[in-house]
């Protein structure tokens, strides 16, 4: 496929068709950051050797050092095609997905895991991220266009975990809303909570892929507040059966450090 499928009517494959996967090149970043993107698909299905449908929840994790990200609609089309294929076990479909995504993303590593029906009862979700909720502040929101100048710091040094459930952005291709929570952990100059909430709410009309939005928030905080340590994670609600969870950090993180936390809105 040589055109982005978002916003277009694309026939659903009726089998394994990795050609529908569409890579989007990551934007270059001057700051050395680390992290990963965790995708969770709740509508995965395939056939066993007798043609009986199986279902599971698919988790895909790959690092920010990957050359590309995968476009979400193309992944849905690809997974929809696999629902017509027969596999001996969930491990078989995991290997196919891992191979095909590694081919287009060019990551240092990639994790693919299927939670089968027997594992559903063990899945848990949190009501919200850890830390102090910013959302109860009674404040005036000055703009719905991203404005990093809203960020400011108070006196002193802090080590805090903060979160907001009010993040909302828009897909740059379709204009569809993407909603989620943002969790921030930092050490350094104390970030003004009122200013931070105004800044998060300023993304309401901002257009950007969710991975880029998470990265932009991270970079704006680094530039405006210069924390000694910063981690930032966005928990986006599912759209088309998939939720996306980008994680960015000022310090190295590897495949053994993945946090698979899921929020109740997901």
Tens of pLDDT, residues 21-61: 999 999 888 788 999 999 999 999 999 999 999 999 999 99
> Which of the residues 100, 165, 178, 243 is marked catalytic?
178
Tokens representing residue 147 in the block: 């404005």
**Is residue 225 among the annotated active site residues?**
no
Q: How far apart are CA 146 and CA 159, in angstroms?
A: 25
Q: Which residue intervals of 165-209 are DSSP H helices?
A: 193-201
> What DSSP state is assigned to residue 176?
-
Angle, helix 90-105 to helix 72-82, in steps of 10 degrees: 150
* Ordered domains of the chain (ranges, CATH): 18-122 (3.30.1130.10), 132-257 (3.30.1130.10)
Q: Which residue intervals of 110-253 are DSSP H helices?
A: 193-201, 210-225
> Which of the residues 171, 201, 214, 234 is marked catalytic?
171
**Is residue 133 among the annotated active site residues?**
no
Element (H, E) at 78: helix 72-82
Q: How far apart are CA 46 and CA 52, in angstroms?
A: 8
Tens of pLDDT, residues 76-110: 999 999 999 999 999 999 999 999 999 999 999 99
């Amino acid at each position: 496929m040589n055109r982005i499928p978002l916003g277009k009517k694309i026939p659903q494959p009726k089998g394994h068709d990795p050609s529908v996967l569409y890579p989007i090149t990551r934007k270059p970043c001057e700051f050395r950051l680390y992290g990963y993107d965790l995708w969770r698909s709740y509508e995965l299905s395939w056939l066993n050797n007798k043609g009986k449908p199986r279902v599971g929840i698919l988790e895909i994790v790959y690092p920010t050092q990957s050359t590309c990200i995968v476009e979400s609609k193309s992944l849905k089309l690809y997974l929809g095609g696999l629902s017509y294929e027969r596999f001996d076990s969930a491990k078989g479909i995991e290997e196919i997905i891992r191979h095909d995504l590694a081919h287009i993303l060019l990551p240092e590593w990639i994790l693919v895991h299927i939670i089968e029906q027997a594992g559903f009862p063990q899945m848990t979700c949190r009501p919200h991220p850890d830390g102090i909720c910013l959302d109860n502040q009674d404040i005036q929101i000055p703009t719905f266009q991203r404005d990093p100048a809203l960020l400011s710091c108070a006196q002193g040094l802090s080590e805090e975990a903060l979160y907001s459930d009010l993040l909302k952005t828009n897909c740059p291709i379709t204009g569809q809303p993407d909603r989620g929570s943002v969790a921030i952990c930092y050490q350094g100059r104390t970030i003004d909570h009122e200013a931070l909430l105004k800044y998060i709410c300023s993304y309401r009309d901002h257009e950007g892929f969710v991975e880029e939005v998470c990265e932009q928030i991270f970079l704006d905080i680094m530039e405006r507040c210069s924390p000694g340590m910063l981690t930032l994670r966005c928990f986006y609600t599912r759209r088309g059966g998939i939720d996306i969870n980008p994680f960015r950090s000022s310090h190295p993180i590897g495949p053994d450090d993945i946090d698979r936390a899921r929020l109740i809105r997901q």
